[in-house]
Amino acid sequence: MKPGFWLKVVVILLFFAAPAGAVELKLFVNEPPGDRCRKNISAAAAALQEVSNVQLSIIPKYMSKATDPPAPAIMVDGRVVAVNQGPNNGRLTKAELIAALTNRGAVPYSAGYKIIYSEQLKALVDSQAEDLLVFDARNPEEYQEVHIPRALNLPEKEFTQYRHLLPADPKRQLVFYCNGLKCGKSKKAAIKAAALGYQNILVYAEGMPVWEEMNYPIYAGPDYEKKVETTKLTPPELKKMLATAAGDYVIIDVRDEAEFAAGHIPGALNIPVSRLAAASGQLDKDQKIVVYCNSGGRSYLAYRKLMKLAYKNIYQTLFADWQEAGLEVAQL
């Protein structure tokens, strides 16, 4: 191995690293790195100059786990797309890599915008930068309930009607946001703004639910604390769903990790309510989603978050009721 090689790799990682919520790109490489490994690293460096919203990790053989694919290999969001002696013989070209990344949500710079994350937007808002304009692309009712301070409401569906809010200067910095990772309004609004000639556009893809989850400042309207009625499932109803829904559901334990390890409903995922919005990208909007905690407080908050994220089939149940009914409890 050439001295300093992995130092160069670390520099690449630091340059291209992106926060959680980005498309995860993993390169598995030998040491010393062979020709295919070096070409994969070069292809990744070149690809990441053309797409944003990617988290790059380069994993040398000595750091690999037994379950990792044999190097050289490439994984995108947990899916192996090239493996040694397998698909493409462990190699992808820059074009193939870009296609694999954009298929999972990476954003080509040609789309006219870049992705920004919570901490970055918070820093911009706190800076009071005069050239910054933040636009909430949701509908007026959602905007009135809660929005980021200093944001203007430019509903994506009425973009033409509200386009007068856009500045005359095409170089002004614009930020669009909506309701999270699976909400397309901010991206659609950004593309429309780019088509009008605006050149400095950012999309806050994590959106309003994650902003709230981070406990950042908000403008809260009079209906912000309005109570919502949850759709509840009794233990027998949930047990029947587990037996008959054939994978058309996901159960989320929104308690902390220690509580989950001590006992949980079989098959449940553990996503603490404090991180639910940030982790929502892994949830399928076509599935039924059941949230639970011990007594209802945290699962109620989780239910509200999922409503704001535009999930439709949401249910709430209680772990205490499940235990009291004498139903099976799994442990770690």
- Residue 332 · residue 260 · CB < 8 Å: yes
> What value, to the nearest 5°, has the Cα angle with vertex 160 and ends 158 and 161?
65
Active site residues: 293
> Encoding tokens for residue 187?
């991206």
Question: How many CB atoms within 10 Å of residue 118?
Answer: 20
Cα(138)–Cα(304) distance, rounded to whole angstroms? 17
